[in-house]
Structure 1
Amino acid sequence: MSKQDTVSPPTMAGTMIVFPTNGSFFGFAFTRLFLDHDRWRRSAVAGTGDQNSQTGLESIDIPPGI
C-alpha cells in the first residue's frame, strides 16, 4: 500500500457489532485490499456471535387433555 500507487482502487475496511436487548451479540470485521498497483487483491471477513432466544411462551396455560 503506497501513496504513489494511482492504479489501485482505495482499500476498504469496516466492522459491525450488534448487542440486542436479549443478551445476544454478533460482530464481524471485513477488509478488501488492493496492493502493488492492483496486481494483488485480498479480501477477508471474520465474525463471531452468541444467540439467546426468547420464545414468550412462559405464561400460556394449556388445559389438560389437549
Structure 2
Amino acid sequence: MAEVKPDEVSAILRKQLSGFEKEIDVYEVGTVVQIGDGVARVYGLTKCMASELIEFPHGVFGMALNLEEDNVGCI
C-alpha cells in the first residue's frame, strides 16, 4: 500500500486552489410584453428588486421601478 505524505497532499491542494477563481454569475430571464412611453413591461422577473439594473439585448440597460405581481416596469 502506498504511503500518503502530508507535504505532497498539501502541495497538490495548494497548486489546484491557486488557479481557482471565485465567480458567481446569477441571472434571471424575462420576456418584454409591452413597450411604450419609455417604459418596458417585463414578465418573468420574479426576484427583481426596485432600482435594480436590467440588461436588455444589444447592450441596453434599464432600471426596475414599478414592481407588480405579474410584471416589472423598467425605464
TM-score over 0.5 for the pair: no
Question: Which protein has greater RCO, CA pairs closer than 8 Å, 6+ apart?
Answer: 1
Q: Which has the higher helix share?
A: 2
Q: Which has the higher strand share?
A: 1
Q: Tell me the TM-score normalised to structure 1 length.
A: 0.23
Q: Tell me the TM-score normalised to structure 2 length.
A: 0.21
